[in-house]
Amino acid sequence: MSIGLNPYFVFNGNTREALHFYEKALRGSVVGIMTFGDLPENPDHPLTEEMKSLIMHAQLKVGNADLMFSDTFPGTEHQADGDTVQIAVHPSEEAEGQEIFAALAVGGQVVMPLQKTDWSPLYGIVKDKFGVTFQVDVAPNGQAAGEEER
């Protein structure tokens, strides 16, 4: 049996902004966007024009990983807490790690500055402007996570 897992980000009305922020910061590409307005109309649950423009589902491809995104449905409780789940990013080059860290830090908060550690030539933690916490962990020997040694 094979199981796939991926992070699913849920935001409160600003998913489109977050999606394009991560597209740039993580050097990804948007695979698709579906809004609530793309669904067939249901007279029992009419949508306002504002609700129709909110993202029901979006996908961002970052390397071999898929990140999923959605806005909460209006009126649904949403609690942002970027500490429960953290996203680890494993660039193979230090310069790339520095660029990604800097991009994620714009408008956010550096929790642990990039630095050499026992396990990584460059590691740091940043909470971005959306409240999501990222660990940037440059792979030793220029090896991306999941790659086998050559």
Q: Distance (Å, rounded) from C-alpha 129 to C-alpha 106?
A: 7
Q: Distance (Å, rounded) from C-alpha 84 to C-alpha 81?
A: 7
What are the tokens at 134?
Answer: 């990222």
Do residues 62 and 101 both lie within one domain? no
pLDDT tens, residue by residue, 17-73: 999 999 999 999 999 999 999 988 888 888 888 889 999 999 999 999 999 999 987
Answer with the residue of higher pLDDT: 139 or 17: 17
Do residues 42 and 92 both lie within one domain? no
110 to each of 11, 25, 35, 52, 60, how far by Cα in Å?
21, 15, 32, 35, 24
Answer with the residue of higher pLDDT: 145 or 26: 26
Domain count, the chain: 2
Do residues 12 and 67 both lie within one domain? yes
Do residues 61 and 95 both lie within one domain? no
State the CATH number of the domain containing residue 114. Answer: 3.30.720.110
Crossing angle for the helix pair 15-25 and 94-105, to the nearest 10 degrees: 160
* Residue 150 in domain: no
Do residues 93 and 128 both lie within one domain? yes
**Which domain does 66 fall in, by range?**
8-71
* Residue 53 in domain: yes
Confidence of residue 149 (pLDDT cuts 50, 70, 90): very low
State the CATH number of the domain containing residue 56. Answer: 3.10.180.10
- CA nearest neighbour of 68 among 9, 128, 129, 5: 9
Q: For residue 20, give the 3-state DSSP assignment.
A: helix
